[in-house]
Amino acid sequence: MGGTAAGGGIILKPSESETMARPHIEYIQNQVIPWKKLAMGNSRPGAEGRGLSYDPDTQAATTIMRYPKGWRLSDAHYLPCDEELLVLEGDLSVGSLTYHAGDYAYLPAGMPRPSMGSDGGAVVLTFFEGDHGTVFGTAPVGMYDPARLIAKIETTKMAPVAPSDPYVAAVANKAERKVLREDAKTGERTWMVAFGPEDPNKLTHGKIETHPIVEEFFLLEGDIHMPCGVLTKGAYCWRPGGIEHGPVGTRDGFNCFFRCKGGPMTTKWSDDAPQIPWDAPYNPALPDRLRAFVDTPYDADALI
C-alpha cells in the first residue's frame, strides 16, 4: 500500500482491492489453491502457505501452513499478532511444546518463541489475527498477555457436549460439540461440531439461519449439503454477518472446525423450513483470487 512519511512525497491511493473488506468465501475446497513458498519476512520462512482468506486492512489471514520435514526457525522470535492453530497432519513444535494431528492452540501476540520446528513435517490450519511477520528478538513489554494463552488442547481426547442451540439439538442426528476457546472480552469463540449421518428421504426440510457476526469454518470430515453445493472434507468458508444460509443436510455426517469473529455467536432461525437442496451444483460466492481455481480438479478423499 502506498503512503509517505511526513515531509513530502507522493501519497498513493490504495487500490480498490486493498480497501475491500474481508470478502465472503462460501466455499472453496482448499485442495485447489496453489501452495506459495514463504520467504524471509513472512511468518514462517521456508514453509509453504495456502491462503484461504485475507483482510488487506488488518493483514489478518486464514491459511494452511505446510512445513517440510526438518523445518526450523531456530532464533528467538515473536509475532505481533495472535495465532490460532489446529494441526491437521504431522508434528509442529513451538518452544518446548509439540503439537500433533488434532492438537489446538491459541498463542497471543508477543508470546516469546525460543524456536519453532517440525521433525517429520506438518500441515497446520493457521489463523493470524493481524500483521504476522516474524520479528526476531523479544516483544515490547506489555504486548504479551499470558492470560489469553491456550497452550495446547488435544481435541481428539476432549469429551464432547450437547449442542447449545435447541433447534440443532432437536433436529440433528447425534450432534456434539467441543468448545476450544471463548474470548472473555469479545465473546468470539472457537469450537468443533460433529453431526451423525442423515437419511435424505427422512430429513427433507430445514430452517434458514443468520448470524450477526462472521462465521468461519473448515470441514475436517464428511459432507455438508447447502444451496451453494456439496462441501467435502477440506472445504473452507468465511461468511460475513447478516448472510442467510441453509438449510443444510449431511449424508455421511461431518466434523467441522468453527470460529465466530466480531462478537458472540447467536443464530436467528427462519419461521419456515424450506426443502434441503441435496446434491446442489457448486455455485460459490468467491473473490476473484479464488474464483480462478473453481474448475481445478481435486481429490475429495484427501483433506489437503
User: Please, what is the minimum distance in Å from the beta carbon of residue 267 to Fe ion?
Assistant: 6
Beta-carbon contacts of residue 303 (< 8 Å; ≥ 6 apart): 88, 89, 220, 233, 234
Q: Cell 486492512 appears where?
A: 57
User: Please, what is the minimum distance in Å from the beta carbon of residue 265 to Fe ion?
Assistant: 8
| Nearest to Fe ion of 117, 241 (CB atom) | 241
User: Please, what is the minimum distance in Å from the beta carbon of residue 237 to Fe ion?
Assistant: 9
| Nearest to Fe ion of 215, 223 (CB atom) | 215
Residues that bind Fe ion (CB under 5 A): 209, 215
* 19, 6 Cβ separation under 8 angstroms: no
Residue 134 C-alpha cell reads as 516474524
| Nearest to Fe ion of 67, 238 (CB atom) | 238
* DSSP output for 102-127: TEEEEE-TT--BS-EEESS-EEEEEE
C-alpha 42/C-alpha 59 separation (Å) is 12
| Nearest to Fe ion of 27, 128 (CB atom) | 27
C-alpha 200/C-alpha 202 separation (Å) is 5
Quick count: other Cβ atoms within 10 Å of Cβ 43?
Answer: 22
| Nearest to Fe ion of 83, 209 (CB atom) | 209
User: Please, what is the minimum distance in Å from the beta carbon of residue 58 to Fe ion?
Assistant: 23
Beta-carbon contacts of residue 202 (< 8 Å; ≥ 6 apart): none
Residue 30 C-alpha cell reads as 482448499
C-alpha 116/C-alpha 209 separation (Å) is 41
User: Please, what is the minimum distance in Å from the beta carbon of residue 300 to Fe ion?
Assistant: 23
| Nearest to Fe ion of 26, 209 (CB atom) | 209
User: Please, what is the minimum distance in Å from the beta carbon of residue 243 to Fe ion?
Assistant: 9
* 189, 178 Cβ separation under 8 angstroms: no
